[in-house]
Every structure is written in C-alpha cells, then in structure tokens.
Structure 1
C-alpha cells in the first residue's frame, strides 16, 4: 500500500509548515533590533571568553526559522547542517576580508544573515519541542561511541595523548592544513604562498579544505581567540574534534535511516532499524578511520549521510529544499569532493522524481541550484586547473579501511528489495532509494573496473567510495523497516499502550544489538574454553572500536613525542630532524611531529627522504645479529645528506644515541654540511 503522509512534507509533521505560527509582519524596528542583537551578543560573549556559546545560538536561531521535521532532534540536525554549509560557503569571504576568522565579525555576520532571512520570510521564530522515543538511540549512539573512542585519552596528559594523535601520516597532514588555516586566517588555497610554510606543497592548492576550515572556525570559538596556542595543545583539541566527528557520523547514520523511513516508521520497527544501524557502526571496521587518520573522509561521510537523507525524503518546503540542497553540495564537495558525484546523483534524482512538486517557480529553483553547484565546485575547479592530476590521484596507493563487505552488499540488496516492492515503488521515497542504490552500485563498479584496467587492482580511493556505498546502504534501511508488519494497536488504557510500545521497542533494539552488534549482554559467546569465556563475554569486545578503547591504536611515538614536546623548538633557524630509532618510519613521523610543533610542516617536502634513514637509536640485540646492520649507517647517511641538501636552511638534528650523534657530527663536518647535531636521549618514562 502507499502512504500519502510519507510523501507530503506537511502531513504527520507536528510543528511543520502546516502547524507553524502565522507569518509576522515585516517591521523595520524588528529588523533593526535583530541586527543589533546579532552584533551585541558576539561582543558580549567575546568579552567574557564564551564565544563557543555562539555555536548553539546559531543552531537554535536557524532552527527557529526553518520548517523541517516534526521533532526537536530533526530540526536541530537540519539547522546544524545548514550552519556548517553557511560557514564553509561564507568562509570564502572570511578568507579575504581583513578580520580573518576573528570570532565577533564572523559570528556577527552569520547572525545578521539569519536575522535578515527571518525578517524577509516573515516567519515567527518557532522550534518544535516534540521528542521521539528513538531519539534515545540516536543520542545513545553518539554517547557510546564517544565513550569508547575517548576512553584511551581519559586521564592522560596532553603529551601522552600525542601517541593517539600521531597514528598515521594522514592525521599529521590533516593537522597541518588545520594549522595553516589558523595562521593565514582562511582557506589555504586563497593564501598559497603563506600557507606553504605550514603544509607540504601542493596540498595548499589541491586538497579539499572544508573539514579543516570548519574545525578551525570551531576552534577559534572554543579558544575565544584566533591564536591556537602551543601546537601540542592544538593537536589535542584537533584529535577531540575528530573523535567527536566520528561519534556524530555514527549517530547521524541512525538518524538518517529513521528520517528516510518517515512518519510510517515508528514504534518497535523504528527501534529495530535504528538499533541495527547503531550495531553495525559499533562493531564494524569503520572505527579504524580514526586510527588511520582519515579525518576528512569521516566528515565527508557525515555530511553525505545528512544530505542524501534529506534528498531521499525532502519533507520540506521549496525554500528549505533549496537551502538543504545547496548546503549538501557545499559541505560534501568542500570536505571530500569524491563524494560530490553521489550527492549530485541524489539531487538530479529528486528533481526528476518530485518534478511536479517543484514545477511552480522551477526556473528560480534551478537557478539557485546552479549557483550552489558553481559555488560548491569552485575549490575543486581551482585545484584541477592548477596542480591536481586527477588520473594519477584516483589511482593512488595507501593504507585502506575496507568497509564490511557482507554489510555493504546485504544492506544494499535489502534496500533494492524494499524499493522494488509495489507498495514502495509507487512512493517517491521508494523511487529515490532505488535510483540512489543502483546509481551508487554503478559508480562503484565502474570505478573498480577503471582501477583494475589501469593499475590492475582495487586501490585506496575505491575503498573510500565503498565507504560511501556503506553509508547509502545503512541509511536505506529506513525503507527496509517499513516491510516489517506493525501489528495491531494495543488495547487498554493509554498508559498501558505506552508501556507496551516501550517494551516492544526495547526488545527490538536489544534484538538488533545482539544479532548485528555481537552484544550478548554478559552471556559468553562462541565455542571457547571456560577460562576464555570468563575473559571474553561478548564478540563485541573483539571489535576495532573496543581495541582502540583498550589502547590498541596507540602509536610507538609516545617516547619521541614526550622528548620533542619537552624541548624548546621555537625560533630554530631551520627544520628539526628527529632520529630516535633505527626504524625509518618512526624517524619520519618523529621528524614530521617536530615540524608540526614548530608550525613548519612545509619543510617536510624535502625531509621526506628521512623515510630511508635507519639510524639514531642504539642497536638492539636483534639488530646486532643482522649482517647488513653495519652498512645501515652508511646508507642512511647518504639519504640524510640528500635531505639536508634539499632543505631550506641548516637543520637541528636530534639523535637518541650518543655514539651515533658523535659519529654523525664528525661525518657532517667532514662533508662541509652545516647542521647542528644534538644528543637528545628519550625520556626514561
């Protein structure tokens, strides 16, 4: 059967357009007061060091004017999404005006835009206060993921936390973009010469910077200053933002599946869908995105989930739809332009599926969307026309996070089954899911064929595109949930019916967690020995997220990080090279960290030759047994000299072993190479 409520943006939406307060008259004194308050509030909060309060103020201000969603959580999600789009889009302006990312001008401008838009719309501020039972699963997902991902950082000093920050080169690179935006006061690609000091060229021109700009804007409000402070403290805050973004991604996927289900998805069926998505994210491989340092991918998947959910079921008026569509284009392409094609597919599909609904003022809507598309594509166009080699980049190799194939394929097939049934095929939501899943499968297949033909295997970006496919599969479970039979309404008093619905929803959630999350709630799992079962109560405890929570993601950079933070690296005339180990990769990361602490990651362009330097630490018993160990110093010295020859200035070389430091001092002096070699042993604890 079909449901008119599922396709009508006003039906079944308490607090939506049908239930909104009557329009207010446009009065000039009201506009003047609103604009005045838009600047007075940021000035007051900045004077008291509470600029971070401006974030919820902006979210609530937008939420009070839009008419999307019948519940409080829906409204807040959409308003936060629009705010992120506005920050990234107006960030182009912030990058070139004289105040940069200063809290008062930026927040005052954004609040003024909201005030003017509200005045022009004639809407009275209104926020629905209705809550849904499954809001607990959405918020609970965020809470659980944050608890486990933040757990290894709890009670740790800032220096100790660096072992979790420096888990990959990608994280260090992402932080350098964030650091650059802090210093240049805007997007790095608009300040390329200045930005080259803080990151490895050509990153300032070619890498999408939406994530880093948004986090830098948030960080300025958190600090109530454009000065980020010591680099180690900045790294700590940045890592917390990334962990928060991943927790938000997991929660948003639960919310998006529920949104796509619409008003028909309620009760125990909604609980089953939400808990299933929650369970997959708790136990799956995606949590390793944090450990691998795939920060932009995390944020890109987050915005992709929200944008596609709102396009699949655009339960809103034309004005809100235009805002949501443009916000989706901007956030996704500014953050991770690879996913822009999927967002574009969803936008094209919704304009076709809902063509009758958007027929009035179609020309104006298409003009707005065309302008939004151009705006969203500006950074990508700029990078392609300057330094980005698209064909070479698309086949890059690197560490990969492989999405769970059974979940990806199984959920996609389940979504296709649900969308192909006559009852759902006749609805716009069903048609959108069908187009989106088939389109995503086609894109993934074509890209896989392209990589196989060109490089002979599936590489780095294939798995990143597969992660987007997993997101689409999971949020499409909202439509699958409608296949479940709701059953007859409980009889008896209203209180009895509420209690019964609550028990059914709780049982559905527990069932989904047990089936798909390996959560057996204390019951030993698997055919193991009695002793093993005493130590392992659930398969959930073997998931990547729990391993991270137990400290499994900690890098071997702990001692070098403490050594580097404990030294004064400021005002050095040249780069700092850190050779604390005979492991070349550890030396590379130590050197990279030294440049980040000195806000000079741009020096790493020449210093990447350190990847081949295998000296600096005392020889271990295992090293002494190797026949080739004696030649490692000579080979490493060749690569070190090459790095020094390409470096911008005479470096300071920190060496963890005294014997190596003394020998290196003599060899560099003999070769006439200007460098300051310092014996810098690792701290004992």
Structure 2
C-alpha cells in the first residue's frame, strides 16, 4: 500500500504532469518519414554550411522525441543526453579506427542512421507542456550554471588557466583532451603518437569525457583541430566548467525524479536550493578546482543512473537501453564509479523485479551487451584496474566536508526507514542504494587503514559517490514529510510560493554559513576552494599563468628542447613552480618527454645541478631562471661545448609587472626590455 504522500501517479515510470504525450507505436506516418529524411539529409548540408552544432541539436531533439514512457519535456532531454553520451563513448572505439577520425559528419551519420531506423517504427505524436516544477528546476539549473561558468566566460585563455592553475590533474586531462582532439580518437589506438604528448601510462586512462568534449569541440568549430595549444586550453577549461554545471544539473534532475510527482509545483524550489547549493558551495566546485574533470563527468552519469534505479521508466525496453548506455558511459569516463553502479543495478533488479521478469530474455541480452561494452576501458587499463593495491594509493584530494555529509546522510536514511517509506518501492530502492554505497566507502576506509594506517585518495573518491547517491535519495526521503499533494494544493498559490522561497533562502543561508572545511583538516596548497572562494578568485594564480603563457609564446614552433622553470614563485602563488612546469609541458605538447624535468624542477637547483641534469637528459633542455647571477654562473659552467644540450633563458618583468623572456641568455643583455 502506498504511503500518504503517494498517489497512483507516484508509481515508477508514471509522470506527475503529462507534459509530453506518449509516442504512438505502429506504422510510420508522414511526420515520422519526414523526420527520418531530415535526420539523414541534414548532416551533410549543415556540415557544408559549417553548422555542425545544429546537427548535434537535431540529433538530441530527435532522440528525446522517441521515448514512449510518460515523461516531461525536461525528462526527455536529460534522458536523451545520457543515452547519446553512452552511445558516443562506444562509437568512439569505431571512430578511433576508421579513416575519418572525429569528423563531425561521419559521427553524425553514424548516429543518424540507427536513429532514423527507430523513427520509422513509430508515429510521432508529441504535445509539449512545461509543468511548474520543471520550470523551477530549470531556473535552479540556470542559476547554478551561471555560478559554475561566470569566472571562466568573462576572461581569456590566460585568465581561464589562472582560475584553475592549481588543479594539477586538470593539466593531464587537458593533455588527454588535446591529444584525442588532434589524433582523432581514443589514445589506446594512437599510442605511438601519444607517447610524446602524454606521460607513459596515460594512453590507456579512461577517456570517455575527453572524447565527448573533443567531439563537442569538433561540432562547434568544424573538422579542424586548433593548432595553437593555448587556444585549445582555453576551450578545454571552459568545457570543464560546463562539465561541473552539467554535473550539478544531473544531480538536481535525479533528485527531482527520485521524489516523483508527489514533489511538484513550488515544492521543487527548496529541494533544488539544497541540492544545487550543496554542490556548488561545498562539494562540487572543489572537484573542478582540483582538476577532477573526468570524475565530475562520470558522477553526472552516476546521478542519472541512480535516478533510473530508484524510479524506472514505464517501458522496460527504454529502461534497459538507458541503464546500458549510462553504465557504458561510466566505464569509459571513470570506471571506479562501477564500484557503486553495479550494486545499484542489482538493487534495481531486486526491488523492481516484477517489472523486468516479464522480459527476462531481453534483460539477459542487455546485461551481456552492457558488460562487454563496459569491460573495454577496464581491460585496456587492466594493469591498474586489476590491482587492489591501487585503492591504497596516495594522492592530492580535497577532503569531503564530514560536518555536512554526516547530518545529510543521517536525515536521508532516517527518512527512508519510516514505515510509510518502506511501503514504497522507490524509497526502498533509495535506502538500499545509500546503504550499499556507504558500506563500500567504509570497506575502502578499513582496507586503507589496515594497509597504510590512514585514509587516502580513493576513500575520498568513494565519499564523492556517496554524496551524489545521498542527494538523489534525499529527493525520495523528503516526500513523506510534505504530506499528500492534494493537501498542499489547498493553500493559495502565493502562500505556497512564499513558503517555498523562504525555505530555499534558509537552506542556502545554512549552506553558506557551513561551507568552511572541517576543523583540523589541513589543506596544503589550497587557498579557499569553496564555491565562494572560486567566485572571488581566491584560488586563482594570475601571475603564474601569465608567466607560463609568456614562456609558451616565446618558444619556437616546433621546439626541439623541453623547458623547465627554476624561478622563485612570483607573487607567492606557485612554490617551486610545481604546477607551472607541468602546464608548460602540456602546452608544449611534449609531456611524454618533459615530465621527468617537471619532477626534477620541483626543488631548488644549483648551477652545478642544472648542468649535471642537462648532461644526462636525452632531450636538449632550456632552463628559465629569474636570477641573472645564477643564469651567468650556469652558462659559465656549461661552457661552449654544452650550448647544444643546454640553453639558458632569463625571466624579467617590465614596468607593468609583465614577464619578459630574454632568450637565449648571453650574459651581457641584462637591460634588454
């Protein structure tokens, strides 16, 4: 028996307000034939007009129209985005081998052909409406999107680098994205080319997010990859901000879907404020600042998967297709998330077994196909994926705010333990999902403590997954507290709007006041990584970014030398220029050759040590120094015989405090501007 806050439309797959009428099965009608023709004819025409981005929008919209489950417009668009993402990750395997690479026309036609075949199997009968709850959800998504992107869209490529300069991992993710974009597919298939641009071992790193962003870039800019690395970096950083915005939007939608039609109208606003505020102010923004672009991408897919595990679609075929696509996308983007995804799929199979037992053969086929597709990136990187020891590996990561996560977790679990909640399949699945992900996090924590005596990198990564699943389950947990929807509708609309707005404001205020780190947590190298600090630019490094881009601009193209900066940190932003040398290497597209110099350059070096390292280097070296005395001494020690192996460049600053590179340094040009 459903609880008091559950109506008949609250069952899995039902819609709160039928914003879109079901597509009708049967023989294709005129609109179906016309849409299929447009899907096949539009990509070549739009490609000739250099409007490939319009092709992408057409494919997205046409995919959204094909769902027969009773869903709203927003639901359809979100589900279509998830489906196309999984499809693109898998299509990337083929694109990495065929002669066209990531050509937008080839990718569009490879997507349009199967989509047109589906279109021709049904009649297109769609009536568009926008329920109030969806409109409010879009309002929250727009606000959080502006929060994520504002510091990046208002500046140039150097400013974007400055905003995320301390995200060391982001430099490697940029090298992956830039290499995928230039070489035309997954780097597992282009190892020889990627050996120069990537540090050894990264050619098999999961590249689903990098491929997706590279495809978006190709559709937006045309077939040609950008030749200038700084331009490519500016695009990538903007896309990384978009990934954060998409992640927040995905969790917002997933929490809204988990709540179901019982949470409609103005009641969506407080939930949106809590979920969106929590992510942008507390936990989501630090992931971007740390450079965890690939994880953010995967967490967005995990949120969509969790929503469908809790509240499946009405049509089993569509449910299976989406679960398969999202699981495949997770594996290609960040396969650590399969640790949480696989148990959640089992929870769906148990709690909602009546829905899929009727189509058992299709479920078995879908499970086998999904397992095979998801295994591809795992097997490609099996050397690391197959080792349990990797779970204890150290790494730089921002600790999750326990003082907010624990109360949120307790509130969600207690809400799902009530008798009324236990009578509802959606909330039983939500409780199971939260408990199983929490148990996995505790298991990794125990393993790390037993192995190393303390928690480390991957424990925090499991807590990120717990945050996402808990926020999604929160949508289901709060519904019984609101009472029956018909009782809430008795209040006048201004009263409901005022209550929702006031509650949302209070929740945001609580989050703002509690966004600080846990007491006793050391954040070495971090200024203020909260959302507020990101908006104020307190984590940015403009002087360091300006120096890196000035050096990059001064280097010849191509450059047979690798560069290493051995300068005192300007403005105190980057001690020993740790991140600076890494960014310099990825901008030069020689990280596969320069990463050893980056590691070596993280400490102060004497002229004798510089000459010794240059002599042992298999690649000629250019060292950037800011001390004329040290530069002169190093050049003297090197002598004429080593000029080919070692070149010295001097960093100076003009009257406006802008870096100027004197290259090559001859020892008699101290006053050159």
1:502 aligns with 2:488: no
State the shift of 1:268 in Å.
4.4
Q: What is the SS of the residue equivalent to 1:134?
A: helix
- The 8 Å contact of residues 54 and 107 in structure 1, kept in 2 or not, is answered as yes
SS at match of 1:322: helix
* Structure 1 residue 491, shift from structure 2 partner: 11
How many Å separate the matches in 1 of 2:606 and 2:90? Answer: 51
1:333 is aligned to 2:339: no
**SS of equivalent to 2:639:** helix
Deviations 1:333-356 (A, max 9, x none): 211111112111111111111212
- 1:21-75 CA distances to partner (integer Å, 9 max, x unpaired)? 4324158x99886565334322222222221222322210110101345321111
TM-score w.r.t. length of structure 2: 0.87
**CA distance in 1 between partners of 2:625 and 2:564 (Å):** 8
Change (3 A) 1:585 1:380: farther
Distance, in Å, in 2 between the alignment partners of 1:491 and 1:679 is: 71
Q: 1:15 to 1:202 in 2, by over 3 A?
A: same
Q: Distance in 2 between matches of 1:151 and 1:124?
A: 42
Q: Aligned residue for 2:600?
A: 610
* TM-superposed deviation, 1:277: 1.3
Q: Distance in 2 between matches of 1:470 and 1:554?
A: 26
How far apart, CA to CA, are the structure 1 residues paired with 2:46 and 2:270?
43
Cα 1:667–1:590 shift into 2, 3 Å:
farther
Distance 2:194 2:208 in 1: 15
Superposed CA offset, 1:57-95 (max 9, x none): 221011010134532111111111111111111111111
Matched, 1:559 2:554: no
Q: 2:638 aligns with which of 638, 644, 668?
A: 668
Please show how residues 127-146 of structure 1 align to structure 2 within 5 Å. Answer: 127=126, 129-146=128-145
Contact 2:180 2:214 in 1 (8 A): yes
**C-alpha distance after superposition, 1:135-161 (max 9, x if no partner):** 344333333333334333454332233
Match for residue 393 of structure 1? 390
> Pairwise CA RMSD of aligned residues?
2.8
Kindly indicate whether the alpha-carbon contact (under 8 Å) linking 2:31 and 2:123 is maintained by their aligned counterparts in 1. Answer: no
TM-aligned CA deviation for residue 162 of structure 1: 2.1
What is the aligned counterpart of 2:355 among 341, 354, 357? 357
User: 2: distance between equivalents of 1:499 and 1:31?
Assistant: 43
Are 1:677 and 2:638 counterparts? no
**What corresponds to 1:455 in structure 2?**
452
Q: Deviations over 1:120-140 (max 9, x none)?
A: xx2223555222333344333
Q: Which residue of 1 aligns with 2:568?
A: 581
1:168-567 residue pairs with structure 2 within 5 A? Answer: 168-205=167-204, 207-384=205-382, 386=383, 390-486=387-483, 489=486, 497-518=492-513, 544-555=530-541, 556-567=543-554
CA deviations over 1:489-543 (Å, ceiling 9, x no partner): 5799x9x9444433333333233323444499xxxxxxxxxxxxxxxxxxxxx98
Give, in whole Å, the separation in 2 of the partners of 1:53 and 1:644. Answer: 54
| In structure 1, C-alpha distance between the alignment counterparts of 2:586 and 2:459, rounded to whole Å | 30
- Residues 93, 185 of structure 2: 8 Å contact kept: yes
Q: Following the alignment from structure 1 to structure 2, what is the Cα–Cα distance between the partners of residues 254 and 26?
A: 36
Q: Within 2, Cα distance between the matches of 1:61 and 1:323?
A: 16
Q: 1:503 to 1:129 in 2, by over 3 A?
A: farther
Contact 2:582 2:595 survives alignment (8 Å): no
Q: Is the 8 A contact 1:283 1:544 kept in 2?
A: yes
Per-residue deviation, 1:103: 0.8
CA displacement at 1:659 relative to structure 2:
2.4
Cα 1:35–1:657 change in 2 (3 A) is farther
Shift of 1:585: 5.2
Alpha-carbon distance in 2 for matches of 1:487, 1:443: 35
Distance 1:251 1:610 in 2: 41
Task: Tell me, yes or no, if the aligned pair for 1:575 and 1:603 is still in contact at 8 Å.
Answer: yes
Look up the match of 2:661: none
Which residue in the other structure is 1:148 paired with?
147
SS of aligned partner of 1:602: helix
Shift of 1:313: 0.7
Secondary structure (helix, strand or coil) at the match of 1:358 reads helix
> CA, structure 1 residues 281+591, in 2 after alignment: closer, same or farther (shift >3 Å)?
closer
Give the deviation of 1:388 after TM superposition: 5.5
Please give the alpha-carbon distance, in whole angstroms, between the structure 1 residues aligned to 2:437 and 2:45.
48
Equivalent residue, structure 1, for 2:606: 633
Of the structure 1 ranges 181-190 and 68-77, higher mean CA displacement relative to structure 2 is found in: 68-77
Which runs of 5 or more residues in structure 2 are unaligned? Answer: 516-527, 659-673
SS of 1:377's equivalent in the other structure is helix
Pick aligned residue for 1:595 from 585, 589, 601? 585
The 8 Å contact of residues 513 and 519 in structure 1, kept in 2 or not, is answered as no
Which residue of the partner structure matches residue 626 of structure 1? none
Other structure's SS at 1:593 match: helix
Comparing 322-331 with 399-408, which one deviates more in the overlay? 399-408
Aligned residue number for residue 523 of structure 1: none
Q: Which moved more, 1:108-117 or 1:592-601?
A: 592-601
Distance 1:143 1:657, change over 3 A: farther
Structure 1 unaligned blocks of 5 or more: 521-541, 615-631
CA distance, structure 2, for counterparts of residue 411 and residue 67 of structure 1? 35
Higher mean C-alpha displacement, 587-596 vs 435-444 = 587-596
Equivalent in the alignment of 2:10: 6
1:380, distance to aligned residue in structure 2 (A): 0.8
Q: Which moved more, 1:374-383 or 1:439-448?
A: 374-383
**Which piece of structure 1 moves more, 327-336 or 438-447?**
327-336
Q: 1:13 to 1:175 in 2, by over 3 A?
A: same
Compared CA separation, residues 516 and 267, structure 1 to 2 (3 A): farther
- CA shift, 1:216, in A, is 0.7
TM-score by length of 1: 0.86
Stretch moving more, 462-471 or 249-258: 249-258
Classify 1:312/1:423 alpha carbon distance in 2 versus 1 (closer, same or farther; 3 Å).
same
Match of 1:628 in 2: none
1:64 and 2:34 are equivalent in the alignment? no
Match of 1:86 in 2: 87
Q: What per-residue deviation string (whole Å, max 9, x for no partner) do you get for residues 546-585 of structure 1?
A: 2111111112523312422431431112322233336995
3-state SS, counterpart of residue 304 of structure 1: helix
CA distance in 2, matches of 1:35, 1:276: 42
Number of positions where the alignment pairs a residue of Structure 1 with one of Structure 2:
635
Distance in 2, matches of 1:593 and 1:644, equals 24
TM-aligned CA distance change 1:455 to 1:69, over 3 Å: farther
Distance 1:585 1:32, change over 3 A: farther
CA contact (8 A) 1:137 1:275 kept: no
Query: Structure 1, residues 472-491: CA drift from partner, whole Å, max 9, x if none?
Result: 11111111221223368579
